[in-house]
Structure 1
Amino acid sequence: MDPQMLIELVTMKMPFGKYKGWVLSRLPEPYLVWLHNKGFPSGRLGHLLATMYEIKLNGLEYLLQGLKKF
């Protein structure tokens, strides 16, 4: 896994939708499940959202705890 990706998950904000302005790591799991079922957007954002979905699905949020200070 790319360490830069983990930093982006705790710093990048959702650019659109109901949760516009929310940091990706703070998006609620039901929203990520909905996006997963609908289809993640293409590009870097979609890859980050898919990664966040997998992190939350597998209970791995602790991986991001030390990075939230960035």
Structure 2
Amino acid sequence: MNPEMLQRLVSREMPYGKYKGRAIADLPGHYLAWFARQGFPPGEIGQLLALMHELDHNGLAGLLEPLRRARENP
């Protein structure tokens, strides 16, 4: 797992859809699961959604907390 990709989960915003403007790391699990069933979009956004789905599905989303805090308190 690339640490830079983890950083992007907390900094990159969803570019479209119901949760447009929300950080990828803050997307609800049911939305990520929907993408997993329907197919992730191509490119980086799809990679980030797939990674966040894996973290959420396996109960590992808490790994992003230090990155969130560092982003909030530079």
Q: Which has the higher contact order (CA 8 A, sep 6+)?
A: 1
The CA distance in 1 between the partners of 2:6 and 2:35, in whole Å, is 19
| 1:23 paired residue number | 23
| 1:55 paired residue number | 55
RMSD: 0.6
Q: How many angstroms does 1:18 deviate by? A: 0.3
CA deviation profile, 1:1-25 (whole Å, cap 9, x unmatched) = 1000000000100000000000000
Q: Which amino acid aligns with 1:64?
A: L
Q: How many percent of aligned residue pairs carry the same amino acid? A: 49
The CA distance in 2 between the partners of 1:55 and 1:67, in whole Å, is 14
Any unmatched runs of 5+ in structure 1? none
Count of aligned positions? 70
| 1:14 paired residue number | 14
Q: Which amino acid aligns with 1:61?
A: A
Considering only CA atoms, is the larger Rg found in Structure 1 or Structure 2?
2
Give the TM-score normalised by structure 1: 0.97
Any unmatched runs of 5+ in structure 2? none
Which 4+ stretches in 1 moved above 4 angstroms?
none
Equivalent position SS for 1:5: helix
| 1:64 paired residue number | 64
Give the TM-score normalised by structure 2: 0.92
